[in-house]
Amino acid sequence: MGKVKSKIVFICSNCGHNSAKWEGKCPSCSEWNTFKEEIIREGSRKPASSESWVSKNRSNPVQSLSSVTIEDLPRLPTGDSELDRVLGGGIVPGSIILVGGQPGIGKSTLLLQVALQIPHKTLYVSGEESAEQIRMRANRLGAIPEGCMITTETFLPKLLKDAIDTDPSFLIIDSIQTISTNTVESTAGSISQVRECAAELQRFSKETGIAVFLIGHITKDGNLAGPKVLEHVVDTVLQFEGDRHYVYRILRNMKNRFGSTDEMGIYQMGPGGLRIVENPSELLLSQREENLSGSAICATIEGQRPILVETQALVSQAVYGNPQRSATGFELRRMSMLLAVLEKRLGLQFGQNDVFLNVVGGIRIDDPAMDLSVIAALISSFSDIEIPQDVCFAAEVGLSGEVRRVNRIEQRIQEAARLGFKRIFISRFNQKGIDPARFDIQIHYISKITELYQSLFI
């Protein structure tokens, strides 16, 4: 056996680029100040301990692609219908799933709940909490089945040995940042540790057919702490998001090797853990009691489902120096663009005003159809004219103030009608193919934001 040598390398914490010297700017991803020093041990790439689970005589034969037969991918239901849907119908055995989210959002709760509900044996590995803490949490969540095994072991070779001995259908790692292995010398949570452990776990899941869930913390700006490389290693990336001060949580699918990514799940955090929200629109709208200026409702599509969400704008005289711009749950740059459109096309001057925008419920909406309701909320607050409670919107707005079509318009209209809205403003370019007789709601087709202004604010 060769002598083990240590070597210092610098690794970019954003993209994983290696360099022999420290650099201010990463030559690969152009981010600044991302290089971290790490010690790599050479000559010990594969210690005997971590090989113990690899079957010695496995065969990966070369074969012609046309001779490969596919059976329907077997899927194991998780007992959580929302999670199953987001995954595309349950978990594929031998797959590896990353669940990312900010600290405190509910990742551990979600996966412990899965471990308790699932009708299969699970091994829950926690490097963050003690066995007693996990038991206390589980007591809040429901009955504890015999098949739910836990360990606080964080040394990977030992942990994989434990997993082989326990033989679960699922292995849950909470979190990947607490696990370490001996092929890399740096501390747990460093980029090379996270990358090495994830790669090892991926081999493990493929070899054994045990499905692996990895919990990973993400940083404030929404990136997975450390390596983007982690996203390449896994089969599925789920993102758990929401505002910690609100009860709603959204589970999004960002990458899926076994299905589509346009599914999402909505949960509500309560004293007994996470509950599935069956009718999100009703919950998100229920707090509206009176008409106030600055509030507008958008019929959005999140994942496959239509949801009605409220946008609130507050436009007020800037008193202290520079006017402020702030947006929560909506992209700030997009709001600035819409403000510029309002100034240019409607002549509304926001230059001396503070502008605040908020999507109610603490959820982030990416749907371009939000534009028209943001525009409506901004005009409403600016002019202090209320929008009637039975009106909603669904359209994108372009730079010249044109109102553009959005996808799945019929689903949006249907949801708005179901919730008792009487009027919906959409793009004229969406008109083709809509049969208005099908919906119990009046549809206004517009092609310019000036038409919106004339209908509601004059």
Interacting residue ranges for ligand TYD, rule: CB under 6 A = 101, 103-109, 137, 140, 269, 271-273
Rounded least distance, CB 354 to ligand TYD, Å: 32
In DSSP terms, 419 is beta-bridged to: none
Closest CB to ligand TYD among residues 273, 329: 273
In DSSP terms, 424 is beta-bridged to: 392, 443
Q: How far apart are CA 198 and CA 346, in angstroms?
A: 54
Closest listed residue to residue 217, CA positions, set 227, 206, 229: 227
Q: How many CB atoms lie within 10 A of CB 91?
A: 27
Closest CB to ligand TYD among residues 104, 351: 104
SS3 of the chain: helix, strand, coil, percent, to 5: 30, 30, 40
- The listed partner (ligand TYD, Mg ion, none) that binds 273, CB under 5 to 8 Å by sort, is ligand TYD
Rounded least distance, CB 271 to ligand TYD, Å: 5
In DSSP terms, 249 is beta-bridged to: 267
Rounded least distance, CB 194 to ligand TYD, Å: 17
Closest CB to ligand TYD among residues 106, 168: 106
Q: Binding residue for Mg ion (CB under 5 A) from 108, 117, 178, 181?
A: 108
Q: Provide the b/e sequence for 60-86 (b: ≥16 CB within 10 Å).
A: eeeeeeeeeeeeeeebbbbbbebbbbb
Closest CB to Mg ion among residues 104, 321: 104
SS3 of residue 325 by DSSP: strand
Rounded least distance, CB 175 to ligand TYD, Å: 8
Rounded least distance, CB 453 to ligand TYD, Å: 43
Q: How far apart are CA 384 and CA 232, in angstroms?
A: 50
Closest CB to Mg ion among residues 174, 263: 174
Rounded least distance, CB 363 to ligand TYD, Å: 16
- The listed partner (Mg ion, ligand TYD, none) that binds 281, CB under 5 to 8 Å by sort, is none
Q: Which stretch binds Mg ion (CB under 5 A): 101-109, 203-211, 358-366, 381-389?
A: 101-109
The type of residue at 258 is F
Three-state DSSP string of 288-309: CCCCCCCEEEEEEEECCEEEEE
Q: Which stretch binds Mg ion (CB under 5 A): 11-19, 100-108, 288-296, 374-382?
A: 100-108
Q: How far apart are CA 227 and CA 238, in angstroms?
A: 15
Count, residues near Mg ion per rule CB under 5 A: 1
Check binding of 154 to Mg ion (CB under 5 A): no
Rounded least distance, CB 257 to ligand TYD, Å: 24
Name the residues that contact Mg ion, by CB under 5 A: 108
